[in-house]
Every structure is written in structure tokens, then in C-alpha cells.
Amino acid sequence: MTFEAVKQQEQQNIMPVYSRFQVALVSGKGATATDVNGKQYIDFASGIGVNSLGFCDPEWSAAVAKQAGTLQHISNLYYSPVQTAAAENLCRLSGMSKVFFANSGAEANECAVKLARKYGTDRLGAGRTEIVTLKNSFHGRTVTTLAATGQNEFHEYFAPLTTGFSYAEPNLRSVKNAVTEKTCAVMLELIQGEGGVVPMDKAFVKELRAFCTQRKILMMVDEVQTGVGRTGTFYSYQNYGVVPDVVTSAKGLASGLPLGACLCAEPFADVLGPGTHGSTFGGNPIACAGALVVMKRLAEPEFLKDVREKGNYFAEKLAEMHGVSSVRGMGLMLGAKPARGSVGEIAVKCVEHGLLILTAKDVLRLLPPLVVSKDEADKGLAILREVLDTLEP
């Protein structure tokens, strides 16, 4: 099909909820994608941080194909060896005790909310069901995770949202002021992705950990975008030197297949019991087969070191560009603030020149596959530099 035929088909049949770039992709390898016309693109987006092993990694593809030809779905009414193996690996790499598998980050966060509220009711007393999140946060697009999101623009049109959430600035004084006798948990991203790639201060995170422990409220970390090697450790809280009570994960976990996870530490392993939560597709065998390959690769000693080195390389090259005024982030989750021009217009020009890149607030957001090669990195950075240099001062 031609691009125009694909575009017309989309406009006729799909709800218009996406502002799409003018390209239709049909294949890819590593961090390079190809469109319907055969044009190639360097990928600094990885499906919004999803394709952790890039396009069509041979080991991942073989494992997924093998599982698809063996057993594609059984539901959670039965035991699944591939699911239990994925759970064991995920608990080991995260340092958590138990996991609930879902399909997405929003669903993982929904599970965290339910776990926190049941914990509050069971162990702290009736009415202990409110959760504090941070301003500028993003936790998902369901009615409840929208309510948890600390950005008013996402709330427009969808009231009444789920109640029981309040918002604090990312400092301990503000969090303390937001916590009341009804609070059961504080939930935060350690780097606010959709909020503009904004890292939390390490001292604040450690203070928050101590405060939550003191008040017996849960510290819940949303690792949907920051997790699975993205920031140079398996989960970003490992960069901060803290251990949360609850962790949510998705995106890169199965490198392109829908898999979310809500993990908890041992003291909270039995908060959710039979009948309190569930998912038809969560922990699907095919998705878990993909996740096992991802976790096997990230467990290799050199893999995460390589991610950190690549992240430093990207950050250094971005900082050297005249068209970039500042760079923030961690590992291969970076935000580059342009010195001029709008990020939306720049992203469109990048696609025209053969680079897939994201935006978030006032920054160009870079989430390349964790396996991006130096050659692919250099090609993509050269395109970005060229685009930035064409902008009017």
C-alpha cells in the first residue's frame, strides 16, 4: 500500500485520538526502521520507550515465535511455566517479593492504587485510602490513573474523575503538607517522562523514603517509562539508593509486546488475595516469553554498563550542539531543550530527514532502543544537528 492509502484507511476507520507523523512504518532492524516507500529512519523513540531490544532482535523474535507456535493463551485460571519463570526473574532483578502481571502501565498503576487502598484499610484503619502524587506527573489514561496524574490538562473533559488523590510539589515540605490522616501512599516517577524528562532530586527521594517508613504509608514508584534498563540500572530507584514498597512497570518489559507489572516488597505480598484483582490477558505466555529474553539480556554484566556509557555519549554530543540549550535525564532517557524553535516543529522536520524522535513539554525526548549502535547513534545525532542548524536564530 502507498502512504496515502494507509493514511486514508486510518482516517476512515480509527478514532482520531492521535496526532501522527506523516510516515507509515512497515519493518525494522535494531534502531533502524523502514517505511512503505523504502525510506529508512533512525529510531530515537523505540515506540515510546517500548522496543528495548530494538526492532526484531533475533533471540527475542525466535522466543516469541516459538511460544506462539506452542501455546498462545490460557488465562490465569491455570499455571503457566513461562509466566512463573518471568515472575521469578523480575522479582530477582528488582529485589521485590511478588508481582502481578497486567497489560500496560496504566493497568499496573491501577493495581498499585488498589493495593495501596486495601493496605490502608486493612492495616492503617478505615478511611486510609488517599494517595499523594506529584504535580507534573503522568500515571496513565484510565479514569483513575488520570486522577493520579498531576497535570490539569489531562483532566479536561473527563470529570468526574476518581476521587482520593492530592498533588504535591517534588519536595518533602510539600509532600508533608499534602499527607493527612487519610493518606495510605505516596506515588511518584523518579524521572517525570511526559512531564518533560524531569529527574527527582536524590536527597528528596531518600527523605521521602524515610518519611513514608516513619508514617507507615507506602512509597510507590512508577517505573513504567524509567524501568527495565532505561536509566542504566534495571529500575531507576536502584540509581537513587532506595527500595520502594510498590513498583509499577511496563513499556520495555517485553520489548514490544503488551506486558505490565505491579511489584511489591515482602511485607505487602499478601495484601491482594484471591478475587481482589485480576486480568484476562495479564502475563500472557507470548508476552512473558519476550520478557524472559529482555531480562536475560539485561542480567548480562556488561549490558547495563553499556547503556550508561551510551547515555553519557548521547548527553555529551547533545550538549555540544549549538541548537541545544540544555540536556537533562539519565541513561538513555534524555531531554534536550532546543535553543530556538518549537519542539513539535523540530520533531516533524526530524522525521522528514529520517529521524524518529519524541517530545515532552519543552524538550526533545530521546528514548532510543537500549541496543542502539554507535553508528545508528551518530547518524541520528547528525540528522538532529542538521535540523537544529536550519532553524532561524
222 is in an annotated binding site: yes
20 domain residue, yes or no: yes
Enumerate the β-bridge partners of residue 191. Answer: 199
**Residue 27 pLDDT exceeds 80:** yes
**Contact between 164 and 180 (Cβ < 8 Å):** no
DSSP code at position 251: G
Q: In terms of domains, do 75 and 153 share one?
A: yes
Indicate whether 392 pLDDT > 80: no
pLDDT value, residue 277: 98
Sign of CA dihedral 132, 134, 135, 138: negative
Instruction: Say whether both 165 and 262 belong to one domain.
Output: yes
Rg of the chain on CA atoms, in Å:
21
Which tens digit of pLDDT belongs to each residue from 215-274?
A: 999 999 999 999 999 999 999 999 999 999 999 999 999 999 999 999 999 999 999 999
Examine the pLDDT at 393 and tell me if it is beyond 80: no
What is the pLDDT, as a whole number, of residue 356? 98
Measured CA distances, 13 to 7, 22, 24 (Å):
10, 17, 16
223 marked as binding residue = yes
Last residue of a domain, one of 298, 315, 332: 298
> Is 234 annotated as contributing to ligand binding?
no
User: DSSP H helical segments within the chain, as ranges?
Assistant: 3-13, 46-49, 58-68, 81-94, 105-119, 143-148, 172-178, 202-215, 237-240, 285-298, 301-320, 343-353, 374-390
Residues 352 and 311 in one domain: yes
Query: Do 318 and 382 belong together in one domain?
Result: yes
- The answer to whether residues 174 and 26 belong to one domain is no
Q: Is the pLDDT at 160 greater than 90, yes or no?
A: yes
Mind listing the pLDDT tens digit for each residue in 347-375? 999 999 999 999 999 999 999 999 999 99
Domain count, the chain: 2
24 vs 7: CA distance, rounded Å: 8
C-alpha distance from residue 39 to each of 79, 162, 246, 325, 346 (Å): 45, 45, 43, 31, 19
376-383: long-range contacts, CB 8 A cutoff, minimum separation 24: 376/30, 376/31, 376/32, 376/42, 376/43, 377/31, 377/310, 377/313, 377/314, 377/317, 379/42, 380/31, 380/42, 380/43, 380/44, 380/355, 381/314, 381/317, 381/318, 383/42, 383/350, 383/353, 383/354, 383/355
Is 225 marked as binding a ligand? yes
Is there a binding annotation on residue 280? yes
Same domain, residue pair 76 and 198: yes
Examine the domain organization and report whether 203 and 340 are in the same domain: no
CATH number at residue 208: 3.40.640.10
Residue 213 is labelled as binding a ligand:
no
Query: Could you give the angle at the alpha carbon of 268 between the alpha carbons of 245 and 212, nearest 5°?
Result: 40
How far from chain centre, in Å, is Cα 174?
A: 25
Tell me, yes or no, whether 64 lies in a domain.
no
CA 201 to chain centre: 19
Whether the per-residue pLDDT at 301 is higher than 90: the answer is no
Whether pLDDT at 161 is above 90: yes
- Alpha-carbon distance of 305 to 311, in angstroms, equals 10
Task: State yes or no: 211 annotated in a binding site.
Answer: no
Whole-number Å distance between alpha carbons of 215 and 103: 32
Same domain, 284 and 171: yes
My answer on whether 213 and 307 are in the same domain is no
Instruction: Say yes or no to pLDDT of 312 above 80.
Output: yes
Residue 324: the pLDDT is 98
How confident is the model over 190-229, as pLDDT tens digits? 999 999 999 999 999 999 999 999 999 999 999 999 999 9
What pLDDT digit, counting tens, does each position of 74-124 carry?
Answer: 999 999 999 999 999 999 999 999 999 999 999 999 999 999 999 999 999
Q: Is residue 65 part of a domain?
A: no
Range of the domain at 311: 3-57+301-390
Assigned domain for 62 exists: no
Do 173 and 88 fall within a single domain? yes
CATH number at residue 50: 3.90.1150.10
Ligand-binding site membership of 242 (annotated):
no
Q: Yes or no: say if 117 and 175 are a contact pair by the CB < 8 Å rule.
A: no
Determine if residue 293 is labeled as part of a ligand binding site: no
Could you tell me the three cell numbers for 93? 532483578
**285-298 and 58-68 helices cross at what angle (nearest 10)?**
150
- Point out the domain boundary residue: 276, 298, 320: 298
Q: Same domain, yes or no, for 262 and 136?
A: yes
Neighbouring residues of 47: CB distance < 8 A, sequence distance ≥ 6: 256
As given in the structure block, the three cell numbers for residue 356 are 524518529
User: What pLDDT is stored for residue 347 in this prediction?
Assistant: 98
In one-letter notation, the amino acid at residue 91 is C
Average pLDDT estimate for 332-340: 97
Flag whether 66 is in a domain.
no
Q: Which residue has the cell 540536556?
A: 327
In a domain, 181, yes or no: yes
Last residue of a domain, which of 298, 321, 355?
A: 298
Domain assignment present for 233: yes
- Say if residues 199 and 334 touch (Cβ distance below 8 Å): no
Q: How far apart are CA 268 and CA 249, in angstroms?
A: 17
40 is in an annotated binding site: no
- Do 245 and 267 lie in a common domain? yes
In a domain, 113, yes or no: yes
% of the chain surpassing 90 pLDDT: 99
* Torsion from C-alpha of 136, 113, 166, 363, nearest 10 degrees: 0
